[in-house]
Amino acid sequence: MCAIFHAISNLVDAQRINTVKVFSATKAKDREQLGARVSAWIEANPDLEITNTVVTQSSDKAFHCLAITLFAHRDPPASSNL
């Protein structure tokens, strides 16, 4: 697990990432709809630039988990000089 965090911290340092969004599902029906959920979120956040995506699958005897992690950059809002 530490290797994953180390890899992510290197990724964050190497790129201008200031937003991370994780989508996950364990039930088969939810896993089937995961792509649509990700697409809807991306459409709802047009100001984000997705810089990297990590897809993770894990399972044990009873459950299968699929996770999609998006790393993105959002420019800070322009300051107004009123």
pLDDT tens column, 12-22: 555 689 999 99
Question: 70: exposed, middle or buried (C-beta count within 10 Å: 0-12, 13-18, 19+)?
Answer: buried
The confidence score (pLDDT) of residue 62 equals 83
Cα 68 from Cα 55, distance rounded (Å): 5
pTM greater than 0.85: no
The confidence score (pLDDT) of residue 16 equals 82
- Whether residue 51 contacts residue 15, with contact meaning beta carbons closer than 8 Å, is answered with yes
Q: Which of 82, 80, 81, 53 is nearest to 66 (CA)?
A: 53
Other CB atoms within 10 A of residue 18 CB: 13
pLDDT in tens, 35-82: 999 999 999 999 999 999 999 999 988 889 999 999 999 887 777 565
Q: Can you name the CATH fold of 17-74? A: Cell Cycle; Chain A (3.30.1070)
